[in-house]
Amino acid sequence: MPTAQQNHRAGDAQVIAQVCRGLVQVVNRRRTLDWLRSHQDKLLATPLHQELLYGTTRHYFSLTKLISEYLAKPLRSKDQDLYALLLVGAYQLRFSRKPDHAIVNGAVNTCAALGKPWARGLINGVLRKVQRNTNAIADQEDGRLNHPDWLARKITAQYPNNSSDIFTANDQRGPMALRVNTRKINFQDYCRVLDQQGIQFALGAATNSLVLVTPQPAASLPHWQDGFVAVQELSAQFPSGLLLQALSMDLHSPVIFDACSAPGGKLLQLHESLCGQFSTHRLIGNDKVPERLEETRKIAQRLGHSDDARLILQCADATHADVVAEQSCDAILLDAPCSGSGTIRRNPDIRILLQPEHLDDHQATQLQLLHNLWRGLKQGGTLLYSTCSLFDEENDQVIQQFVSAQPDTIVASVQLPYGKATRLGWQMLPTEPLTDGFYYAMLRKAVQ
């Protein structure tokens, strides 16, 4: 009968084997970590799976450079799971507190779990060499090298003064920001609950926001199931306030269209704020992906907004002409699909999956969305355009092209507590350090 220790080792080997399969999905099959989470959740089943898969993805480019020094020739395409095993082992040697010999033995045992016991000698040999050199490697580490060349060049070209800070920030874990749902509890009262439970936090500069000193699983937050609080990245908490400021207080029942709303962070925050400011309103949360809208529905339910007739969820492609009636909206939020280049520390797979030509594709979609939605805006109304991108191609360039083609557009100024003005909008960076990279531009429709 196997001993408890043998069972434990076999369990670890299974976890590492699943992490390797997950890494192959990302690197070789070009799947996102989000896709894995919704389609193959067993590959991310435990905190250990998540730590190893996210950690190895986060340091992927440094780790590949490291392994290439010790691997005599590339592995065959059918053995990319073994290459992933070398990366996961190197990640653990570099970043985990587990003893080195246990890490190398764990990787060697994983060969059998991958159905490739013949590779034990190879894995052992390469990881022993990595083990002997990890201290030297730590000294040489340079955030720039942990990005693909094209991405490093683009960040350097567009942010010559803070590129190395951006590289460093991209290799960290993002902070955990919360938004208190003031339909359920007063902001100060929730802060008091956190204090009582010894959960430390800093106040964020967005209304009703705070940032935890140490991230923790959302479901372990006080009154999570009661919907007192939502997890929402801090830079993503400003669009709601910007749109509210743009709405005249004289409006009887404003109509607001959130064109790309799922999973609903900004939508539900906007709904909560509108409830506080107007006696009634109509807020349409649109998205083209039904599963993402379903997620929005669940979150709305937890926050206590699902039976509210003022909030309408709708599934449609916002590039289609009939998505919104002509001149029907007082305000529109276009939180556009984008490269996500401002969120690399939160979505580390972006640095592996993003290709330069994707920026052109995103730009084309962003412009198509803007032109189509503009028809739905009333004269005097405001459209807020936002992306979580760092790049001009998806930000000022899009606004510039749109404004040149649409003569009834007035670019309004944006000013926020973090970040800085660009030619036409406002840019936050992941170096702030509480925010991700995020862009905002406010467009007003001229009254003719």
Ligand X SMILES: C[S@@+](CC[C@H](N)C(=O)[O-])C[C@H]1O[C@@H](n2cnc3c(N)ncnc32)[C@H](O)[C@@H]1O
Out of 22, 55, 263, 419, the only residue in the binding site for ligand X (CB under 6 A) is 263
Q: Which of 22, 106, 175, 265 binds ligand X (CB under 6 A)?
A: 265
List the one residue from 261, 339, 347, 431 that touches ligand X (CB under 6 A): 261
Alpha carbon separation from 323 to 50, 85, 259, 295, 297 (Å, rounded): 38, 47, 9, 21, 20
Q: Which one of the listed residues 111, 329, 338, 388 is annotated catalytic?
A: 388
Cβ proximity to ligand X: between 124 and 319 the closer is 319
CA atoms within 13 A on the CB side of 76: 3
Nearer of residues 95 and 224 to ligand X, judged by Cβ: 224
Least separation in angstroms between residue 341's CB and ligand X is: 12
The least CB distance from residue 6 to ligand X, in Å, is 46
DSSP state of 349: T
Instruction: Give the helix/strand (H/E) hosting 210.
Output: strand 209-212
User: Restricting to residues 203-242, which ones interact with ligand X according to CB under 6 A?
Assistant: 236
Find the binder of ligand X among 31, 337, 406, 411 (CB under 6 A).
Answer: 337
Q: What is the 3-state secondary structure (H, E, C) of 267-322?
A: HHHHHHHHHHHCCCCEEEEEECCHHHHHHHHHHHHHHCCCCCCCEEEEECCCCCHH
Report the residue number, 18 or 382, with the smaller CB distance to ligand X.
Answer: 382
Nearest residue to ligand X, using CB? 260
Q: Measured from the CB of residue 121, what is the shortest distance to ligand X in angstroms?
A: 47
CB of 33 to ligand X, least distance (A): 15
Contacts with ligand X in 286-325 (CB under 6 A)?
Answer: 287-289, 292, 317-319
**Cis peptide bond prior to 433, omega within 30° of 0:** yes
The verdict on whether 315 is a catalytic residue reads no
Nearer to ligand X, 228 or 385 (CB): 385
Interacting residue with ligand X among 262, 274, 416, 442 (CB under 6 A): 262
**Considering beta carbons, is residue 16 or 256 the nearer one to ligand X?**
256
Query: 230 and 423 in contact (C-beta within 8 Å)?
Result: no
Please list, in sequence order, all residues whose beta carbon lies within 8 angstroms of the beta carbon of residue 215, skipping any fewer than 6 positions away: 173, 175, 176
Residue with smaller CB distance to ligand X, 265 or 425: 265
Question: C-beta of 309: minimal distance to ligand X in Å?
Answer: 21
Distance between CA atoms of residues 185 and 304, nearest Å? 12
How many C-alpha atoms does 39 have within 13 Å on its Cβ side? Answer: 9
DSSP string, 46-89: SHHHHHHHHHHHHTHHHHHHHHHTT-SSPPPGGGHHHHHHHHHH
The correct pick among 264, 376, 419, 430 for binding ligand X (CB under 6 A) is 264
Q: For binding to ligand X (CB under 6 A), which residues are involved?
A: 236, 259-266, 287-289, 292, 317-319, 335, 337
* Catalytic site positions: 388
